[in-house]
Amino acid sequence: MMEMTYRPTDRPSSRLPFGIRSTGHYRVRKYWNQQFRPRHFAEVWYTCEGEGQFSLSGKQIPAKRGSLVILPVGLEHDLTALSDIWDFYWFTLDGPEGNDPLNWFGLSAGCYAAGELPPERFRQLRVLVGEGTFASQKRAIALVMGLLAEVDIPADEREGDFRVAQVRRLIRDNYSDPAFDINALAEKAGMHRSVLSRLFVRETGKSPSDYLRDLRLKTGLSLLQDSFLRVSEIAWRCGFRDPAYFSRLVQSRTGKPPRGHRGKGPSVS
């Protein structure tokens, strides 16, 4: 059984910071599987019977009865039914601030104990989402906020935010592009740059811009040691727009100019 209801409009009312895009109720059998590419809306999944499993950035997250799985905007994932029957409800949040309700309640990507949430509240949500009026959208938001507010998050049970793993992967995949900066990173991750920076600093202790610059520098130092490429070519390959800036950065970080890092063989810088 798969029941789904979508808001009649593509976007939430312009008078609202976010909206409830869709909701549904699935009752699936063991080994049922579905894969999702990064999406432009956040997702919340509540298990009322049985057990399933989510794969987020390579980590397996079990979803048991009474658990709430949080999937913020832009997170690639797949899910699989582990028990004979996996019965769960879900809803999605969209709009320019679709992730904000999760952040307000401290809900990073992952699984949380939510206890027994009455199915009637999810059925009521389906009716409100299907109506699509401004009044029903407001009531749907209020209902969802009430559901999220009931999730208890002990400090010692919080896990790292899986969005940060996704951002790291995006940086590794795109660092060599000189046009790739914090704005491009935020767009690819589907997050506002201020939210992205706040999450990244909280998890890693450094800003995404510093992480990107340090990766470029580390790669450049490796190429200086192991290749015969010119310094300017190395700088461009590592994503630095200005070879002179790359040289100054090498000097300031290591105390030696680029030629001081050359390995065996003649330098061509």
pLDDT per residue rounded down to tens, the chain (269 residues): 899 999 999 888 888 888 999 999 999 999 999 888 877 889 999 999 999 999 876 778 889 998 889 888 877 788 999 999 999 999 999 987 777 888 788 787 888 888 888 899 999 999 999 998 999 999 999 999 988 887 866 543 444 456 787 788 899 899 999 999 999 998 888 888 888 888 888 777 789 999 999 999 999 998 998 888 999 999 999 999 999 999 999 999 999 999 998 865 444 44
Q: Which residue has the tokens 């019977």?
A: 49
Q: Which residues contact 258 (CB under 8 A, 6 or more apart)?
A: 224, 231, 234, 246, 247, 250, 251, 269
pTM of the model: 0.59
Domains of the chain: 2-157 (2.60.120.280), 162-261 (1.10.10.60)
d(Cα 158, Cα 162) in Å, to the nearest integer? Answer: 12
